Structure 1
Amino acid sequence: MELRHLRYFITVAETGGFGRAAKLLHVAQSAISEQIRDLETELGVPLFDRQNRRIQLTYQGEQFLEDARAVMEQATRAVENVQRTQRGEVGKLTVGFFVGGMGPFFSAIIREFRRIYPGIQVSLVEMAPGMQYQALQAGTIDVSFTRTLPAVHASQLRSEPLRTEPFYAVLLRTHPLARQPSVFMRELAGETFILNDRRYSPAVFDKVITLCTEAGFSPKLGATGSVSSGVIALVEAGEGVAILPQGSRILGSEDIVWVPLADKGAVIDMVVAWSPKMERPALKSFLEMVRRRRKVEKM
């Protein structure tokens, strides 16, 4: 049994005659009659009562018509869904992010994407940048808002820049430098540094070490935090000072101050990253929206 058999049967049933169905389908009447006979033979039951001038459905035919319509409707939906999938209008998309990473840009993208593509199921997964790189390669997430890719992952993944964030010195409110409008890294040379654990935030860790080196000193390292909120908590506890990107300021408290770094190059990039092996239509639609919004915000 093929869909063609069902389509011919439904048309004959709805028009009440083989001739009318043939005209509507632009098929020879003999071909339709033959296909209906083949269908009845396969089913083992008569579908039409041919004794009257206007053929009518048998009881079995009436039951079969209901099911045949359902099958054709499902087939039509299947075609529409696969075409929508190809256009990137339906599917699933898992997005990785980290707190303090994107701010209003990230939330606006997610809201807009869900509004324009209601057929795509979007799942958000919070994870540190270091974990995102591995998840992208493993296919656990499809796309992520993260830091610049480390060299070890750059050959396997793709990324595009989104924005550049300045660094701040995170100090206790009682710190001697807390009231300055800005601070140079060299002024912090004698401090104990609280850093993001490199396993979770390699880009931030490496950048802070580079800034210290460029300022002419090797930092005295204290405790580390797996996430920025943990780093800030350690600063609040008096364990040392920290250097964090602007986006982490949403995690601050009244006990600390954020003093801009005055050093040239004291910035770090945010990127959108993905695996080219997982570049499905839904992901392409998402990336196109990210690019459009990035252009608008830069205007």
Structure 2
Amino acid sequence: MTALAPAAETFAKGRDFAAWLGLTPLQRSTGGKQKFGATSKMGERTLRRLLVIGASAVIKQVSRRGVPCDVKRCPSNSDLILGDAMVRSPRISLQQLRALVAVYDEGGFRRAAERLNTSQSAISRTIQTLEAELGVPVFERTARGVKTSSVGHNLLQNARTIVGSLDEISVKALTAIRGEIGRLRIGYNEISIRTFLPKVTARFHRQYPNVDLRLVSQATSEMMPENTAGTISRGEVDIGFLVGPVVDDDLESFSLFEDQMAVAVAKTHRLALRVSVSASELKNEHVLLWSTEPWQIYTRRINNICRQAGFLPRPSIIMQDNESAFALVEENIGVVLIARSVAASYSNRVAVVPLEGNPEPFQIFAAWRKDNTAPVLRNFVQVLRNEEFQADQGLMPGS
């Protein structure tokens, strides 16, 4: 191996590679000198092919020792250039490598054929084609079966790595096609996270544990604004749960359930023990409001309800989150009109009373881009469609 650098300069000295492979294509002339001849056990064509098989592994060993070696790949094809000689790379197929590994592992052609679900003659032809391409046998046939030749042994190590890697890639590709791996980004509003979404997410995760889920809290006005593309249309989330109707032509959607508007009051409030209340009874109450963004879905509904009841709320206290709103309600500073499912989460702190006539209900939709064909999204939608929903509570009890 120490003489490998000059051996790579010309093809004539390339026979060192064959010696490394455990083969001796050398003959002795009458003068006692070694020479390479066309009538040797392996001819010139054989040695050329052997050079390619051994070159990569040998060059790596030499490079680690710091010995320069003038071997490179031809830029126009898969052949190798060794010094001033060009050597054609053998055309080896994955089928041939699979057959090589199977015959070695099973100890014979018959059991290899059973493993690969093919005929013994097909395996034999595949190995013969491989040997013809290499110009040397990869197996030695004996009465007890087969064993690898020197070339076959070296080729087998790389074949096992290649086949194993490709099998792993195939498995990952198949699981991706089935939607069993990947990532799903879910945009959700407060109604969905307080009703059905946790259970749906849990069911999906149990069925597809290798899918990464990214849940992002967003208002309906962020996922589907009125005059511009929202996070769903822009592809920032794969599916969104929002208040409908869904009017974007680029989105596919379906309705899940309806949540009604309710009023939250302090437990000591005059309306706290009522079964229901009409909007007109709130005329003299301090109706708390949210800032326009991103709570405009609530602000618009509250204004519509109050307007139909003959008054408009006074915007003297403006809030940005539910926690602030219910803290003020708890102290009897005002009342809040809000989705019943959200108010129910604070029922230990405030009283929740339904509004008569169910004005301005919240119709909850699932929406996603029509051109989003991701298998993980398809599976999630299927899990969602299999759920049973009921109005005002999300999932059916016990589901």
- 1:175 corresponds to: 269
SS at match of 1:135: coil
Q: Which has the larger radius of gyration?
A: 2
CA contact (8 A) 1:185 1:211 kept: yes
Which whole-Å CA distance do the structure 2 matches of 1:60 and 1:28 have between them? 19
1:17 is displaced (CA, Å) by: 5.8
CA contact (8 A) 2:140 2:149 kept: no
1:245 is displaced (CA, Å) by: 0.6
Residue 224 (structure 1) aligned with residue 314 (structure 2): no
Which range moves more in the overlay, 187-196 or 246-255? 246-255
CA contact (8 A) 2:138 2:153 kept: no
- 2:138 corresponds to: 48
Q: Structure 1 residue aligned with 2:289, among 190, 195, 201?
A: 195
Q: Structure 1 residue aligned with 2:244, among 132, 141, 148?
A: 148
From the superposition, tell whether residues 121 and 67 of structure 1 become closer, same or farther in structure 2 (CA, over 3 Å).
farther
Which whole-Å CA distance do the structure 2 matches of 1:257 and 1:96 have between them? 29
Q: Which amino acid aligns with 2:180?
A: E
Higher relative contact order (CA 8 A, sep 6+): 1
SS at match of 2:336: strand
Residue 262 (structure 1) aligned with residue 356 (structure 2): yes
CA contact (8 A) 2:261 2:359 kept: no
Q: Which amino acid aligns with 2:305?
A: L
SS at match of 1:72: helix
- 1:297 corresponds to: 396
Report matched runs for 1:150-165 at 5 Å: 151=247, 154-165=248-259
Which whole-Å CA distance do the structure 1 matches of 2:159 and 2:203 have between them? 39
CA contact (8 A) 2:267 2:330 kept: no
Which range moves more in the overlay, 12-21 or 68-77? 12-21
Q: Structure 1 residue aligned with 2:301, among 182, 188, 207?
A: 207
- 2:210 corresponds to: 119
Q: TM-score, normalising length from structure 1?
A: 0.81
- 1:9 corresponds to: 100
1:287 is displaced (CA, Å) by: 0.8
Which whole-Å CA distance do the structure 2 matches of 1:170 and 1:7 have between them? 70
From the superposition, tell whether residues 32 and 120 of structure 1 become closer, same or farther in structure 2 (CA, over 3 Å).
same
From the superposition, tell whether residues 130 and 16 of structure 1 become closer, same or farther in structure 2 (CA, over 3 Å).
same
- 1:92 corresponds to: 183
- 2:66 corresponds to: none
Which whole-Å CA distance do the structure 2 matches of 1:270 and 1:119 have between them? 28
Which whole-Å CA distance do the structure 2 matches of 1:49 and 1:275 have between them? 56
- 1:24 corresponds to: 119
- 1:82 corresponds to: 173
SS at match of 2:359: coil
Which whole-Å CA distance do the structure 2 matches of 1:237 and 1:47 have between them? 90
CA contact (8 A) 2:110 2:120 kept: no
Which whole-Å CA distance do the structure 2 matches of 1:142 and 1:267 have between them? 26
Which whole-Å CA distance do the structure 2 matches of 1:237 and 1:60 have between them? 86
From the superposition, tell whether residues 61 and 138 of structure 1 become closer, same or farther in structure 2 (CA, over 3 Å).
same
- 1:247 corresponds to: 341
SS at match of 1:176: coil
- 2:11 corresponds to: none
Q: Structure 2 residue aligned with 1:34, among 129, 148, 153?
A: 129
Residue 235 (structure 1) aligned with residue 325 (structure 2): no
- 2:74 corresponds to: none
Identity over aligned pairs, percent: 23
1:244 is displaced (CA, Å) by: 0.5
Extract unaligned runs of 5+ from structure 2: 1-91, 225-229, 390-394
Extract unaligned runs of 5+ from structure 1: none
1:174 is displaced (CA, Å) by: 3.8
CA contact (8 A) 1:15 1:21 kept: yes
From the superposition, tell whether residues 259 and 30 of structure 1 become closer, same or farther in structure 2 (CA, over 3 Å).
closer
CA contact (8 A) 1:130 1:202 kept: yes
From the superposition, tell whether residues 47 and 118 of structure 1 become closer, same or farther in structure 2 (CA, over 3 Å).
farther
Q: TM-score, normalising length from structure 2?
A: 0.63
1:220 is displaced (CA, Å) by: 1.9
- Cα-to-partner distance string for 1:175-200 (whole Å, 9 max, x where unaligned): 33333322111111233332233422
CA contact (8 A) 2:103 2:109 kept: yes
CA contact (8 A) 2:261 2:339 kept: yes
SS at match of 2:200: helix
From the superposition, tell whether residues 156 and 199 of structure 1 become closer, same or farther in structure 2 (CA, over 3 Å).
farther
Report matched runs for 1:272-287 at 5 Å: 272-287=366-381
CA contact (8 A) 1:19 1:29 kept: no
> How many pairs does the alignment contain?
292
- Cα-to-partner distance string for 1:152-176 (whole Å, 9 max, x where unaligned): xx33323221111121112233433
